[in-house]
Amino acid sequence: MTLHGNSGKVNGRRIGAVVGGQLSRGLQVRVDRAGGTSIEDLAVGSFVTIQGRKQRFFGVITDVELRVADDSLRHFPPSGSADFTNDDFIAEVVGGTTAYGLLSVMPAMAAPDDATSPESASPESATTIPEHFAPVFTASQADIDAVFKAAGDGAMSLGEPQGMDGASVRLDLSALPARSVGVFGASGSGKTFLARMLLAGMVKQGEVVSLVFDMQNEYGWQGQDNDRGRQVKGLKQLFPSRVVTFTLDEASSRRRGITPDGAVRIGYREIQPADIELLRESLNLTPVAAAAAYNLERHFGSGNWLAEFVAKSGPEITELAESIGVNASALGALHRRLAAWERFEFLDPAAHGNAAADIVQHLQRGNHVVLEFGQYGRNEAAYVLVSNLLTRRIHDEWVRRKELADGGQGDDPRPLVIFIEEAHKFLTPEVASQTIFGTIARELRKYNVTLMIVDQRPSGIDSEVMSQLGTRLTCRLNDDRDLSAALMGARDAGQLREVLARLGSKQQALVFGHAVPMPLVVRPRDYDESFYQEMSLGTTGAPAGTPAVAETAEERMQREIDELFPPE
Amino acid sequence: MAAGARRMANPIAGQRVGEVTASHTERVEGQCYELHAPPPLGALLRIGSPPVYAVVRQIWNAPIDPARPLTPRGADLETVDEVYANNPQLTSVLITRFQATVVGYAIGAAIRHGLPPAPPILHSFVFVCDAGEIAAFTAHPGYLKLLTAEGNLTADLAMSAFLRQAADAASDKRGFLLRAGRTLATELADDGPRLRTILGEMAL
């Protein structure tokens, strides 16, 4: 290192030199072959450092290309010509000289690199680019640590950066829930494991509480690893004292040999016409039929309308249609759909309470709540209905407490992360403005509530909601529209697209946005014994079962009672 | 000439072969002491003192007196050897000349690639470098610049011959050829066909 060699930093292996480019479209880096570097070693998504004259840059390879300085090589490649007996030698000489590899590198971060100060300042977003011929190096663990400064209890090792065996990138778990999070990926790409890992990290870190709408029963007690045909530990097994499981389907829980901490019962009284409108697509209702619920509410009074309506039958419905001025066949269709809800055991015509009350109580105490859907996870209407209804109630409570706190009465409510799957079913552009999730996404963290959305079809999610997602972790997506949607609103979306399109079908994720200083491709760590160990370290260090969050004596007593006698 | 003969180790490495008859800063002409015993094409020559280094790029045999051109003498003979045996005066009136491209010079113990401040003086003695001198001279690829400057096929083939000899003198033959080839590839990036001719020849 003589050209720009005034740095005390230890650089990785030199892979090339900057030969052109611009900040908005990325740098062009000519690959040196002298150091034994082959373009085949340089995968898109890899993290590299660039030693400029005054700054040290951190970038990501976004594309790789083959170039020839001499066009005749394109027409008469060495091995294809019979004129020379030494084609192999010729190919070896021109490979890496007149025929060479070119990388596109997105300069993401930069830190002043001043020889006079032993400690360089921390990296910031790159606002310029390195000079011509600045050498480019593979990144080292020290470089990763300089950029991803996350350390200590607030950070979790997310996995191995692309192309860096044995290195590890840490994610700042306090920054993650500060904005809504999206985890995307085609089915089988590993997004569930990634999401479960993030949830576990948040539970361990303890600053936030989460409410998980567990559609496929993957997060509570245990999850399924289909590739290896084994069971993996859910949140409850990892954090028995901090995670509370509820179920909608006690029979399913019993069949699976799981004892949930409580069951959710929803009274007919709690269902509002707006819920029916959200379910219009899942229930396959016409707009007229869905809107009829409002007429019914006016007719029977709020609270009673659903019970009264489903109790009607046959000719009574036609009469009712006339008296409330709704098309009879539309009302009939609505009746058929709602009457079928009698099969939903979690719906209780007589219940008067607030289904969310228990959940709210646990959340306020600092417990994380997983709501398993049992067999109802396969019923889209049930999932959309329950998750919306509960979230609305809980959000109302958080808004109330936040406003009280703002008025000087009481503390801010605990930051809450609401976790939903299959979001494209109820955050479609048509209904996103009406659902509580759309509201939460838009109001950011105003009321200390954020979302964690896990989905395989980001293109089905309202673009306004997508653009509010602070941090995105994206596994392989196959559909072009999903690729574009997953990057929607992201800085450098154009440059990242190729990286995203090339992710491996498994075990790779592109992480970008609020919680990470720069985009990076990561091979998520294994969800295995060593992960379990790491998750349990903090809790074994403290007295058994003591949450990391501060709790009052009263809270502590209540928690201990709850642990001894799980609330129904 | 057969490839095998060209690969033969230089038979007169280290020997004095002739004297300078005309000299320029970039080119030296010389005459051999012995008819038909020139330094081979591509040989590295050390000329005079302080030494100037040059690479043989052309060799020709001719009568000493250009005013007395040769006439055929072997019409009734079986072999060319008989021609010389029957006409012993020929070895006195015929000579072998060579021309070499200057590639460097020495100042003290240091070897410089480039043109010397002055051409070697006339009658300077011409030596053929041995393997050790070739290896020392070609340790860095700066000599290639002057060899590629001429830019015609015969000069390029002479350069290829020189590189083959230098490769034989190097400790790592293939590594030497690759290094030299890659330097040439950068120098001749805009002329692919020429580069490939040279590469094809030098690796024979």
* pLDDT tens-digit map of A74-95: 887 776 555 545 777 888 888 8
Across the interface, of A70, A92, A96, the residue whose CB is closest to B189 is A70
- Inter-chain residue contact B185 with A86, CB threshold 8 Å: no
Q: Give the residue with greater pLDDT, A80 vs A284.
A: A284
A211-215: average pLDDT = 87
Provide the pLDDT for residue A82. Answer: 54
A434: nearest Cα among A465, A467, A458, A460? A465
Across the interface, of B189, B191, B200, the residue whose CB is closest to A90 is B200
Token readout for A385 is: 């209905």
DSSP per-residue string spanning A248-265:
S-HHHHHHTT---SEE--
Q: Confidence class of residue A384 from pLDDT cuts 50, 70 and 90?
A: confident
Q: Give the residue with greater pLDDT, B181 vs A532.
A: B181
- B30 occurs within a structural domain: yes
Q: Confidence class of residue A556 from pLDDT cuts 50, 70 and 90?
A: low
Residue A404 DSSP class: H
A274-280: average pLDDT = 81
Pick the CATH number of A176-263+356-555 from 3.40.640.10, 3.40.50.300, 3.90.45.10, 3.40.50.150: 3.40.50.300
Provide the pLDDT for residue B10. Answer: 45
A151-179: average pLDDT = 79
Q: Confidence class of residue A555 from pLDDT cuts 50, 70 and 90?
A: low
Provide the pLDDT for residue A8. Answer: 42
- B135 occurs within a structural domain: yes
- B25 occurs within a structural domain: yes
User: Is the separation of the CB atoms in A10 and A86 below 8 Å?
Assistant: no
A58: nearest Cα among A172, A169, A179? A169
Q: How far is CA A235 from the centre of its chain?
A: 17
- Number of neighbours of residue A134 by Cβ within 10 angstroms: 22
Residues of B in contact with A89 (CB under 8 A): 177-178, 181, 199, 203
Provide the pLDDT for residue A289. Answer: 81
Token readout for A372 is: 């398993």
Give the containing element (helix H, strand E) for A523: strand A520-524
A91-105: average pLDDT = 86
Residues of B in contact with A94 (CB under 8 A): 185, 195, 199
Q: Give the residue with greater pLDDT, A228 vs B166.
A: B166
The residues spanned by each domain of chain A are 14-147, 176-263+356-555, 268-345
Residues of A near B (CB-CB distance < 8 A)?
Answer: 69-73, 78, 83-86, 89-90, 92-94, 96-98
Hey, is the C-beta of B142 within 8 angstroms of any chain A C-beta? no
A143-165: average pLDDT = 77
Token readout for A370 is: 């997983």
Provide the pLDDT for residue B159. Answer: 94
Please give, rounded to a whole number of angstroms, the shortest distance from the CA of A36 to a CA of chain B.
13
User: What does pLDDT average to over chain B?
Assistant: 88
Give percent above pLDDT 90 in chain B.
64
User: What does pLDDT average to over chain A?
Assistant: 80
Provide the pLDDT for residue A552. Answer: 59
Residues of B in contact with A82 (CB under 8 A): none
Domains: count for chain B: 1
Is residue B18 predicted with pLDDT exceeding 70?
yes
Provide the pLDDT for residue B193. Answer: 85
A213-224: average pLDDT = 81
- B5 occurs within a structural domain: no
Is residue B104 predicted with pLDDT exceeding 80?
yes
A241-264: average pLDDT = 83
Provide the pLDDT for residue A559. Answer: 66
- Inter-chain residue contact A93 with B185, CB threshold 8 Å: yes
* pLDDT tens-digit map of A484-524: 888 887 777 888 888 888 887 778 888 888 888 888 888 88
Single-letter residue type at A73:
L
Provide the pLDDT for residue A357. Answer: 81
Single-letter residue type at A294:
Y
Provide the pLDDT for residue A151. Answer: 60
Segment among A158-167, A534-543, B31-40, B44-53 with least mean pLDDT: A534-543
Token readout for B117 is: 């401040």
Is residue B166 predicted with pLDDT exceeding 90?
yes
Provide the pLDDT for residue A544. Answer: 35
The three-class DSSP label of residue A8 is coil
Range list of β-strands (E), chain B: 16-23, 27-32, 44-47, 52-63, 94-107, 110-113, 125-128
Residues of B in contact with A19 (CB under 8 A): none
Edge-to-edge strand ranges of the sheet holding A155-161: A169-172, A155-161, A520-524, A509-513, A469-474, A180-184, A449-455, A416-421, A209-214, A368-372, A243-247, A262-263
Is residue A456 predicted with pLDDT exceeding 80?
yes
**Identity of the highest mean pLDDT range in A273-287, A508-522, A526-540:** A508-522
Is residue A120 predicted with pLDDT exceeding 60?
no
Range of the domain at B65: 12-202
- Number of neighbours of residue A300 by Cβ within 10 angstroms: 16
A187-216: average pLDDT = 85
Is residue A181 predicted with pLDDT exceeding 50?
yes
Provide the pLDDT for residue B28. Answer: 97
Provide the pLDDT for residue A152. Answer: 61
Q: CA–CA separation, B21 vs A95, rounded Å?
A: 44
User: Is the separation of the CB atoms in B3 and B59 below 8 Å?
Assistant: no
A59-67: average pLDDT = 90
Q: How many CA atoms lie within 13 A of A48 on its CB side?
A: 35
- Inter-chain residue contact A69 with B190, CB threshold 8 Å: yes
Q: Confidence class of residue A551 from pLDDT cuts 50, 70 and 90?
A: low
Q: CA–CA separation, A365 vs B110, rounded Å?
A: 82
Q: Confidence class of residue B190 from pLDDT cuts 50, 70 and 90?
A: confident
Is residue B11 predicted with pLDDT exceeding 60?
no
Burial call A368-396: b when 16+ CB within 10 Å, e when fewer: bbbbbbbebbebbbbbbbbbbbbbbbbbe
**Identity of the highest mean pLDDT range in A161-170, A181-190, B153-162:** B153-162
ipTM for the assembly: 0.76
Is residue B32 predicted with pLDDT exceeding 90?
yes
Q: How many helices (H) and strands (E) does chain B have?
A: 8, 7
* Secondary structure string (H, E, C) spanning A142-190: HHHHHHCCCCHHHEEEEEEECCCCCCCEEEECCCHHHCEEEEECCCCCC
The three-class DSSP label of residue A563 is helix
User: Is the separation of the CB atoms in A420 and A465 below 8 Å?
Assistant: no
Angle at A414 between CA A409 and CA A420, to 5 degrees: 135
Q: CA–CA separation, A498 vs A479, rounded Å?
A: 13
Provide the pLDDT for residue A6. Answer: 38
Is residue B39 predicted with pLDDT exceeding 90?
yes
Q: Confidence class of residue A413 from pLDDT cuts 50, 70 and 90?
A: confident
Q: Is the peptide bond before B50 cis (omega within 30 degrees of 0)?
A: yes
Is residue A568 predicted with pLDDT exceeding 70?
no
Give the containing element (helix H, strand E) for A110: strand A99-112
A377-396: average pLDDT = 84
Provide the pLDDT for residue A381. Answer: 81
- Inter-chain residue contact B196 with A84, CB threshold 8 Å: yes
Please give, rounded to a whole number of angstroms, the shortest distance from the CA of A97 to a CA of chain B.
6
Q: CA–CA separation, A547 vs A481, rounded Å?
A: 43
Hey, is the C-beta of B191 within 8 angstroms of any chain A C-beta? yes
Residues of B in contact with A90 (CB under 8 A): 181, 196, 199-200, 203
* pLDDT tens-digit map of A322-346: 788 778 788 888 888 888 888 888 8
A352-363: average pLDDT = 80
